[in-house]
Amino acid sequence: MKMLTLALATAAILLSAVGAQANPARDAIVAGFVAQAKAENPGFDGFSATRGEIFFKANQVGGKPETPSCTSCHGATPFTPGQTRAGKVIDPMAVSKTQDRYTDPKKVDKWFRRNCNSVLGRECTAEEKGDYLTFMISR
Ligand code: HEC
Protein backbone atom coordinates (compact mmCIF):
# COMPACT_ATOMS: atom_id res chain seq x y z
CA MET A 1 0.00 0.00 0.00
CA LYS A 2 2.83 2.34 0.90
CA MET A 3 4.56 1.54 -2.41
CA LEU A 4 1.37 2.19 -4.32
CA THR A 5 0.86 5.55 -2.61
CA LEU A 6 4.45 6.46 -3.37
CA ALA A 7 4.08 5.42 -7.01
CA LEU A 8 0.89 7.46 -7.37
CA ALA A 9 2.47 10.49 -5.75
CA THR A 10 5.49 10.21 -8.05
CA ALA A 11 3.24 9.92 -11.10
CA ALA A 12 1.28 12.98 -10.00
CA ILE A 13 4.48 15.00 -9.59
CA LEU A 14 5.78 13.88 -12.99
CA LEU A 15 2.49 14.78 -14.65
CA SER A 16 2.37 18.22 -13.07
CA ALA A 17 6.01 18.83 -14.03
CA VAL A 18 5.29 18.00 -17.67
CA GLY A 19 2.14 20.06 -17.31
CA ALA A 20 -1.22 19.77 -18.98
CA GLN A 21 0.07 22.62 -21.14
CA ALA A 22 2.84 20.77 -22.98
CA ASN A 23 2.05 20.74 -26.67
CA PRO A 24 4.47 20.28 -29.61
CA ALA A 25 2.58 22.62 -31.96
CA ARG A 26 2.59 25.38 -29.36
CA ASP A 27 6.28 24.80 -28.57
CA ALA A 28 7.08 25.16 -32.28
CA ILE A 29 5.22 28.48 -32.45
CA VAL A 30 7.19 29.82 -29.47
CA ALA A 31 10.46 28.52 -30.99
CA GLY A 32 9.66 30.45 -34.17
CA PHE A 33 9.33 33.67 -32.18
CA VAL A 34 12.63 32.94 -30.39
CA ALA A 35 14.38 32.76 -33.77
CA GLN A 36 12.67 35.97 -34.94
CA ALA A 37 13.44 37.80 -31.68
CA LYS A 38 17.13 36.89 -31.99
CA ALA A 39 17.15 38.19 -35.55
CA GLU A 40 15.43 41.44 -34.53
CA ASN A 41 17.60 41.98 -31.46
CA PRO A 42 21.09 40.43 -31.06
CA GLY A 43 20.91 41.16 -27.30
CA PHE A 44 17.70 39.12 -26.91
CA ASP A 45 17.98 36.93 -23.83
CA GLY A 46 14.68 35.09 -23.54
CA PHE A 47 10.99 35.76 -23.11
CA SER A 48 9.47 36.93 -19.85
CA ALA A 49 6.04 36.06 -18.45
CA THR A 50 6.27 39.17 -16.26
CA ARG A 51 6.76 41.43 -19.28
CA GLY A 52 3.97 39.53 -21.03
CA GLU A 53 1.57 40.23 -18.18
CA ILE A 54 2.43 43.95 -18.20
CA PHE A 55 1.98 44.03 -21.98
CA PHE A 56 -1.41 42.25 -21.81
CA LYS A 57 -2.79 44.62 -19.18
CA ALA A 58 -1.22 47.89 -20.34
CA ASN A 59 -3.13 50.78 -21.83
CA GLN A 60 -1.37 51.44 -25.11
CA VAL A 61 -1.28 54.48 -27.33
CA GLY A 62 -1.31 54.55 -31.12
CA GLY A 63 -4.18 52.17 -31.75
CA LYS A 64 -7.92 52.60 -31.95
CA PRO A 65 -9.34 54.64 -29.06
CA GLU A 66 -12.04 52.02 -28.34
CA THR A 67 -9.44 49.26 -27.86
CA PRO A 68 -6.59 50.68 -25.75
CA SER A 69 -5.62 47.28 -24.31
CA CYS A 70 -5.63 43.55 -25.01
CA THR A 71 -7.99 43.37 -22.04
CA SER A 72 -10.52 45.55 -23.91
CA CYS A 73 -11.66 42.35 -25.63
CA HIS A 74 -9.98 39.55 -23.72
CA GLY A 75 -11.24 40.39 -20.22
CA ALA A 76 -9.31 41.71 -17.24
CA THR A 77 -7.37 38.51 -16.54
CA PRO A 78 -6.21 35.46 -18.55
CA PHE A 79 -8.82 33.39 -16.69
CA THR A 80 -11.88 35.47 -17.47
CA PRO A 81 -13.79 35.25 -20.75
CA GLY A 82 -13.77 38.30 -22.97
CA GLN A 83 -16.07 39.82 -25.52
CA THR A 84 -15.71 41.02 -29.10
CA ARG A 85 -16.84 44.51 -30.02
CA ALA A 86 -20.01 42.84 -31.35
CA GLY A 87 -20.65 41.15 -28.00
CA LYS A 88 -19.59 37.59 -28.89
CA VAL A 89 -17.95 35.69 -26.01
CA ILE A 90 -14.19 35.03 -26.30
CA ASP A 91 -12.91 32.05 -24.31
CA PRO A 92 -10.22 32.82 -21.69
CA MET A 93 -6.69 33.26 -23.06
CA ALA A 94 -4.86 31.22 -20.37
CA VAL A 95 -3.84 27.81 -21.66
CA SER A 96 -4.99 26.19 -18.39
CA LYS A 97 -8.51 27.44 -19.14
CA THR A 98 -8.69 27.02 -22.93
CA GLN A 99 -6.44 24.12 -23.75
CA ASP A 100 -6.23 24.46 -27.54
CA ARG A 101 -4.98 28.04 -27.40
CA TYR A 102 -1.92 28.94 -29.54
CA THR A 103 -1.67 25.60 -31.32
CA ASP A 104 -2.50 26.75 -34.88
CA PRO A 105 0.26 28.98 -36.33
CA LYS A 106 -2.07 30.55 -38.93
CA LYS A 107 -4.59 31.50 -36.27
CA VAL A 108 -1.87 32.92 -34.00
CA ASP A 109 -0.37 35.02 -36.84
CA LYS A 110 -3.71 36.28 -38.04
CA TRP A 111 -4.89 37.46 -34.63
CA PHE A 112 -1.57 38.94 -33.51
CA ARG A 113 -1.51 40.99 -36.71
CA ARG A 114 -5.12 42.13 -36.38
CA ASN A 115 -5.14 42.76 -32.62
CA CYS A 116 -1.73 44.43 -32.38
CA ASN A 117 -2.83 46.83 -35.11
CA SER A 118 -6.06 47.60 -33.24
CA VAL A 119 -4.35 48.14 -29.89
CA LEU A 120 -0.92 49.54 -30.84
CA GLY A 121 -1.46 50.78 -34.38
CA ARG A 122 1.43 48.56 -35.51
CA GLU A 123 2.47 44.93 -35.60
CA CYS A 124 3.83 43.49 -32.36
CA THR A 125 7.53 42.65 -32.20
CA ALA A 126 8.57 39.00 -31.88
CA GLU A 127 9.61 39.77 -28.30
CA GLU A 128 6.17 41.15 -27.42
CA LYS A 129 4.49 38.09 -28.96
CA GLY A 130 6.83 35.67 -27.20
CA ASP A 131 6.43 37.44 -23.84
CA TYR A 132 2.64 37.34 -24.24
CA LEU A 133 2.66 33.63 -25.12
CA THR A 134 5.04 32.81 -22.27
CA PHE A 135 2.68 34.57 -19.86
CA MET A 136 -0.43 32.80 -21.17
CA ILE A 137 1.26 29.37 -21.25
CA SER A 138 2.33 29.85 -17.62
CA ARG A 139 -1.26 30.61 -16.61
C1 HEC B 1 -11.06 44.09 -30.79
C2 HEC B 1 -11.03 42.93 -29.87
C3 HEC B 1 -9.68 42.34 -29.53
C4 HEC B 1 -8.58 42.99 -28.97
C5 HEC B 1 -8.45 44.44 -28.56
C6 HEC B 1 -7.54 41.98 -28.83
N7 HEC B 1 -8.01 40.77 -29.28
FE8 HEC B 1 -6.93 39.05 -29.42
N9 HEC B 1 -8.53 38.09 -30.26
C10 HEC B 1 -9.77 38.66 -30.48
C11 HEC B 1 -10.66 37.68 -31.09
C12 HEC B 1 -12.12 37.91 -31.51
C13 HEC B 1 -9.90 36.50 -31.25
C14 HEC B 1 -10.35 35.18 -31.90
C15 HEC B 1 -11.30 34.39 -31.03
C16 HEC B 1 -10.64 33.41 -30.13
O17 HEC B 1 -9.45 33.05 -30.34
O18 HEC B 1 -11.29 32.96 -29.18
C19 HEC B 1 -8.57 36.79 -30.71
C20 HEC B 1 -7.52 35.90 -30.69
C21 HEC B 1 -6.24 36.19 -30.29
C22 HEC B 1 -5.11 35.29 -30.42
C23 HEC B 1 -5.14 33.88 -31.02
C24 HEC B 1 -5.50 32.90 -29.93
C25 HEC B 1 -5.29 31.45 -30.30
O26 HEC B 1 -5.95 30.59 -29.69
O27 HEC B 1 -4.47 31.14 -31.17
C28 HEC B 1 -4.02 35.93 -29.91
C29 HEC B 1 -2.60 35.42 -29.85
C30 HEC B 1 -4.47 37.24 -29.45
N31 HEC B 1 -5.82 37.36 -29.69
C32 HEC B 1 -3.64 38.17 -28.84
C33 HEC B 1 -4.05 39.46 -28.52
C34 HEC B 1 -3.15 40.47 -27.96
C35 HEC B 1 -1.69 40.26 -27.65
C36 HEC B 1 -3.89 41.61 -27.82
C37 HEC B 1 -3.40 42.95 -27.34
C38 HEC B 1 -2.25 43.53 -28.08
C39 HEC B 1 -5.24 41.31 -28.28
N40 HEC B 1 -5.30 40.01 -28.67
C41 HEC B 1 -6.28 42.23 -28.31
C42 HEC B 1 -10.14 39.95 -30.20
C43 HEC B 1 -9.31 40.94 -29.70
Please classify residue 29 by burial: count the beta carbons closer than 10 Å to its beta carbon, then call 0-12 exposed, 13-18 middle and 19+ buried: buried
Q: Smallest Cα–Cα separation from 136: which of 46, 32, 47?
A: 47
Q: Is 85 in the pocket of ligand 1 (CB under 6 A)?
A: yes
Ligand 1, atom 22, residue with closest C-alpha? 111
Q: Is 103 in the pocket of ligand 1 (CB under 6 A)?
A: no
Residue 14 is predicted with a pLDDT of 56
Residue 22 is predicted with a pLDDT of 82
* pLDDT higher than threshold 70 for residue 16: no
Place 109 in a pLDDT band, splitting at 50, 70 and 90.
Answer: very high
Q: Is 107 in the pocket of ligand 1 (CB under 6 A)?
A: yes
Q: What are the pLDDT digits (tens) for 17-75? A: 455 568 999 999 999 999 999 999 999 999 999 999 999 999 999 999 999 999 999 99
Residue 15 is predicted with a pLDDT of 54
CA 111 / ligand 1 centre spacing (Å): 5
Atom of ligand 1 nearest to the CA of 133: 29
CA angle 112, 90, 129 (to 5 degrees): 20
**Percent of the chain clearing pLDDT 70 (strictly above):** 85
CA 99 / ligand 1 centre spacing (Å): 15
